[in-house]
Amino acid sequence: MIDVNDLRKGVIFELDNNLYRVLEYSHHKPGRGNAVIRIKARNMRTGSTIEKTFQSGDRVQDIRLDHHMVQYLYNDGDTYYFMDTETFEQPGVSKSILGDNADFLKEGLEAKLTFYNGSPLDIELPTSVDLKVIQAETAVRGDTATGVTKRVTVETGAQIEVPSFVNEGDTIRVDTRTKEYVTRV
């Protein structure tokens, strides 16, 4: 059990037989009485978010998570396969667990896979990945004064907004947290 005062952004805990990741945390101490801790948390299995208020001194169940470095291999529809870099096991992860991160998976990419009770729970990608542009709209000549952007499709199928000077065949770096263009490589 952990005290609710120890809940911070990113902490995973168990409540009512569900796993939650803290998205927002605020600690409020009124003039008298106990402090109030308000959190916004995401259910790790369903993806729904809740807002919960705790009194100072309340406790929640902490959990033990296992982290493994994995390398992306391939997918067959809704299941994505990775290889554990230490044990060479190949766990399959459903697209619902990956969410938007599936847009940045390319063969050979290394990531950190989180397991709970032997089943995959979450994945953490590197902060940026380099992807090749396979389709780009043509830029309109003279449209440079306002920092015009255009939409391109990268090798994984994701669509990214980039500056107008990026062309088909270029390699770009994309931030996996914000899904934004960083630079041309």
Q: Contact at 8 Å (CB) between 92 and 78?
A: no
pTM equals 0.74
pLDDT in tens, 30-83: 888 888 999 999 888 777 889 999 988 889 988 888 999 999 999 998 899 999
From the list 183, 86, 83, 87, the residue with the least C-alpha distance to 128 is 183
Average pLDDT, the chain: 88
Output the CA–CA distances (angstroms, integers) from residue 178 to 142, 161, 175, in the order listed.
Answer: 29, 12, 6
- When pLDDT is cut at 50, 70 and 90, the band that residue 100 belongs to is confident
Domains annotated for the chain, with CATH where assigned, are 2-62 (2.30.30.30), 66-124 (2.40.50.140), 129-184 (2.40.50.140)
User: What's residue 142's pLDDT?
Assistant: 62
